[in-house]
Structure 1
Amino acid sequence: MDRQTDNVTCATWHQNQKYFALGHDDGKVSLWNSGGTHLFSWWPHEAPVNCLAFRNDGGLPTILSGGDCAACSQYVPASDTLQELSQLYFSNLSDLSWVEWLTEDKFLTSDVQGNIDLHHFDIEQLKRRIKEGRYEDKERAHKTFTGHAGGVYMVRVKPGSHSIFASCSVDCSVKIWDTKSKNEPLLKDLEEHCGYVTVLEWIPSTDKLISASFDSTICIWDTSSGQLLHTLDKHKDAVTQISLSPNSEYLATSGLDGDVHFWSIIDAKYINSFEGTGRIIQSSWNPEGSKLVATSYKTVTILNVKFDHKARENRLKNLEENLEEMPKENNEIKSNRHNDRDRDLKGTILY
């Protein structure tokens, strides 16, 4: 990387993996290609950038950034260079904690006071206003969702949906919302955690949602009914990250206890663990699901992950047979016990 990248506060990749963006503590957002070449920098904020999100389309990058305000920036070709057009949104009364695209032209923001706003981005209207000299930073929120009693950590849109999203907060709750509902947008209020809920992850093509908390547990929910399906409780300190494998069959969880635990999604079975050298802050799979990167304050660890799929198939077959033999009212899978290690995971190798 051939340009200053000190004081980076957040980062995100474009879905096509051709670009990534960095947020900085001076309010700057910078765009890079996958080879580490700097493409563009701009300063939409006057305070540290807390969060970033690419719009997943095939055109030039459109980036959401959040800090002291929300900024939506789209790149347009200009001669032999790129230039960006940015619309700023100042509807929030406090710093933003998360930004997330809902549709191609609508996005959500959350702030540290517990508010969630729905905004609209119209690039053609922005171009007209700039051309006519009528640009203003006074775009109001189309809708505000209130209900959390404390700051919101994250909002996550349900995959395949253009209206349903989940939010989590320092009030220890998870809430499910529907932006299309005019009377009561709050669909479900999920309360089981007894600590800040900091991370959410939807399981694609299902109504299931995973939440992680400072109370050291991970919960798997059926959001259609509001039922808690499983509680994963092997961490000994706050859970900092959950990462679903690309095939959605396995979950990696990491925490301040320095451990990375691997679980089978379908039955919430504990598989294996990696003990790190310090507090794990982030963990993420590669696109093939063969490696997991875990980061602490000073160390980046790459785990080579190999699963014994035959062992998994045999175990699930036995589970299905056992469930068929049980009385119907007792068919609920109990997942709070993880003392017996599943051998789906053949090994983790430190690079």
Structure 2
Amino acid sequence: MNPITSAELNFLVFRYLHESGFTHSAFALGYEAGIDKSSIDGNLVPPGALVKFVQKGIQYLELEANLRSSDADIDDDFSFLQPLDLITKDAYELQKIVKGKKENLNQDRLEANKKIDDLSQENPREHLQERDKEQEQDKEAMEKDNEIEKHKDKDKLHQGHNDMEKFEDKIIVEHIENGAQGGSEPMEISLSTVSLPCEYQASDVLILEGHTSEVFACAWNPSGSILASGSGDSTARIWTIADGSCSSSIQIEPANTVVLRHFKGRTNEKSRDVTTLDWNGEGTLLATGSYDGQARIWSRDGELNSTLNKHKGPIFSLKWNKNGDYLLSGSVDKTAIVWDTKTGEWKQQFEFHSGPTLDVDWRSNVSFATCSTDNMIYVCKIGENRPVKTFSGHQGEVNAIKWDPTGSLLASCSDDYTAKIWSLKQDTYLHDLKEHIKEIYTIRWSPTGPSTNNPNQKLVMASASFDSTIKLWDVELGRLLYSLNGHRDPVYSVAFSPNSEYLASGSMDKCLHIWSMKEGKIVKTYVGNGGIFEVCWNKEGDKVAACFANNIVCVLDFRM
């Protein structure tokens, strides 16, 4: 068999993407494109390239969402790109290429029209029909470009605010009246005016620099003012954040920052990109999951305690149980593994899915749920060789799952544009939530109701989608409460404040918004210089962290 070059392999990946119509999520694409990036003919596939197919849908789903005006247009847009462009450039660079080539194409058309006009002076009847045809093509091309540039969500054009400046034309909170039965009262908001958000001042923002690639994950330590971040640069970092207000200074890897390196030397370091991380309940240990398929457990001081090695593909999700004696991981290799954190050995491997495992979440100290690109959700228990419950109902890849605070309800979200609520008491879903118009990337429960610090507040579920909206759901009645329409691009992360009075959201539009749950409007906003992959609150609820595609982490003061 003749060996193939890395360039040829890249082209095969490109052809696969083309022929798939970009209907799969980037998770499966990365897996099918070839997780093993070992040398074929002495040339390594660019190490950062295939990672971008895998890392939480970052590149191609987002690029597709921004380029697409209709399904039929995708191939036209991507025809402007060379195969190696797709492999070696990020989403923003690709968008620039497409835009530039379209502008050149339109310019060529205008020059051609001029030539036709000149010729028509000599033979008007012969060239009149051709000129009209070219002008119609130009008009269609311009309409298509305009449609790509503006957001297609009709809610964002609601109430005649199309021409308002910056946020004002987008920040519209829609009160949904969908005729659901029951006595649930809607949240109190004002629809008479649309308020401009209060933008953060530089003095309220602490910028943490040190990562040299996109920062995909961040998490506050549950017992102290310590923040962990994980990046495509093959490191995690533990930042000690000073108490009190943030300053406008830039913090660049000072003495109180610990760097957790996931490689030794420089060989194949990009295969060790940190994809996920999680603190144990006491805040003494940090677990990280990597593209190399290994989970690692670190002390708060940065000492590597254990390397957990059994997965055969990148780890996408990693969670401690409440007791902290077990760690649960889900991988592209289609399995989930429970690890005994005291011994550093695997306790049980669960091999039920037929596609990559995208998310895992503990229900109790010994039972948990998993979801996959195979559209399935399994509820499993340590010691059991078969799932204790199987949930089937999604028609697309299930991107995320989350148990409610009591462990009685499971929320899921999917590429099929729906979120669903499940109960162990029945085999089919309790509620099918269908208001989104694009893929739903993540979901979160409010920290309210029984078993929380806010027992007298009603339980709410939030979903964030590539349609640029966040939707809040009444989970008792299974109806939409509100659609929060302040973002312009896909929303990758949402997080409730500890008191549940506020919701933070981060998007590819580079904006972090903080919403008042009572008023249903943005009360604070921060505009960064890169897309936002995750947002999280500290335990006191007075600081919000966000990690960005431009390699930085920001910490924002929040006091109302």
TM-score normalised by the chain length of structure 2: 0.49
The match for 2:327 is 63
Matched, 1:141 2:387: yes
Q: Is the CA contact (8 Å cut-off) linking 1:107 and 1:120 kept in structure 2? A: yes
User: What code does the residue aligned with 1:190 have?
Assistant: L
Offset at residue 85 of structure 1 (A)? 3.8
Give the number of the structure whose residues are more often helix, by fraction: 2
Offset at residue 179 of structure 1 (A)? 1.1
Matched, 1:17 2:257: no
The alignment partner of 2:541 has SS state of coil
The match for 2:262 is 4
The match for 2:434 is 191
Task: Give the alignment of 1:117-136 within 5 angstroms.
Answer: 117-122=378-383
Offset at residue 294 of structure 1 (A)? 1.3
The match for 1:257 is 509
Q: Is the CA contact (8 Å cut-off) linking 2:544 and 2:558 kept in structure 1? A: no
Matched, 1:50 2:316: yes
User: What code does the residue aligned with 1:91 have?
Assistant: F
Residues 283-314 of structure 1, C-alpha deviation per residue, up to 9 Å, x if partnerless?
11122222211111233233332323xxxxxx
Q: Is the CA contact (8 Å cut-off) linking 2:308 and 2:344 kept in structure 1? A: no
Offset at residue 3 of structure 1 (A)? 5.0
User: What code does the residue aligned with 1:61 have?
Assistant: D
Candidates 511, 520, 525, aligned match of 1:273: 525
Task: Give the alignment of 1:29-178 within 5 angstroms.
Answer: 29-57=295-323, 60-67=324-331, 68=333, 69-76=335-342, 82-122=343-383, 139-160=385-406, 162-178=407-423
Determine the C-alpha separation between the residues in 2 that align with 1:97 and 1:83: 23
Matched, 1:179 2:440: no
User: What code does the residue aligned with 1:71 have?
Assistant: I
Candidates 208, 214, 224, aligned match of 2:460: 208
User: What code does the residue aligned with 2:438 have?
Assistant: G
Structure exhibiting the larger radius of gyration computed from Cα positions: 2
Residues 260-302 of structure 1, C-alpha deviation per residue, up to 9 Å, x if partnerless?
1111112322212111111111111122222211111233233
Determine the C-alpha separation between the residues in 2 that align with 1:101 and 1:112: 19
Percent same amino acid among aligned pairs?
A: 32
Determine the C-alpha separation between the residues in 1 that align with 2:344 and 2:548: 36
Alignment gaps of 5+ in structure 1? 77-81, 126-138, 309-351
Determine the C-alpha separation between the residues in 1 that align with 2:487 and 2:344: 46
Return structure 1 stretches of 4+ with deviation > 4 angstroms.
none
The match for 1:230 is 482
The alignment partner of 1:237 has SS state of coil
Offset at residue 24 of structure 1 (A)? 1.5
Q: Is the CA contact (8 Å cut-off) linking 1:179 and 1:185 kept in structure 2? A: no
Determine the C-alpha separation between the residues in 2 that align with 1:4 and 1:213: 31
Alignment gaps of 5+ in structure 2? 1-258, 264-271, 450-457
RMSD: 1.6
Determine the C-alpha separation between the residues in 1 that align with 2:541 and 2:459: 23
Q: Is the CA contact (8 Å cut-off) linking 1:291 and 1:302 kept in structure 2? A: no
Offset at residue 50 of structure 1 (A)? 1.1
The alignment partner of 2:354 has SS state of coil
User: What code does the residue aligned with 1:36 have?
Assistant: G
User: What code does the residue aligned with 1:300 have?
Assistant: I
The alignment partner of 2:505 has SS state of strand
Give the number of the structure whose residues are more often strand, by fraction: 1
User: What code does the residue aligned with 1:9 have?
Assistant: T
Q: In the comparison of the two structures, how many residue pairs are matched?
A: 283
Determine the C-alpha separation between the residues in 1 that align with 2:555 and 2:262: 29
The alignment partner of 1:307 has SS state of coil
The alignment partner of 2:435 has SS state of coil
After superposition, the Cα gap between the structure-2 partners of 1:23 and 1:306, relative to the gap in structure 1 and judged at 3 Å, is closer
Offset at residue 143 of structure 1 (A)? 1.9
Determine the C-alpha separation between the residues in 2 that align with 1:305 and 1:83: 38
Offset at residue 95 of structure 1 (A)? 0.6
Determine the C-alpha separation between the residues in 2 that align with 1:157 and 1:85: 24
Determine the C-alpha separation between the residues in 2 that align with 1:2 and 1:263: 34
Determine the C-alpha separation between the residues in 1 that align with 2:382 and 2:298: 23
Offset at residue 151 of structure 1 (A)? 0.3
Residues 3-23 of structure 1, C-alpha deviation per residue, up to 9 Å, x if partnerless?
535422211121221111111
Offset at residue 212 of structure 1 (A)? 0.6
The alignment partner of 2:430 has SS state of strand
Q: Is the CA contact (8 Å cut-off) linking 2:353 and 2:374 kept in structure 1? A: no
Offset at residue 2 of structure 1 (A)? 6.0
Offset at residue 61 of structure 1 (A)? 3.1
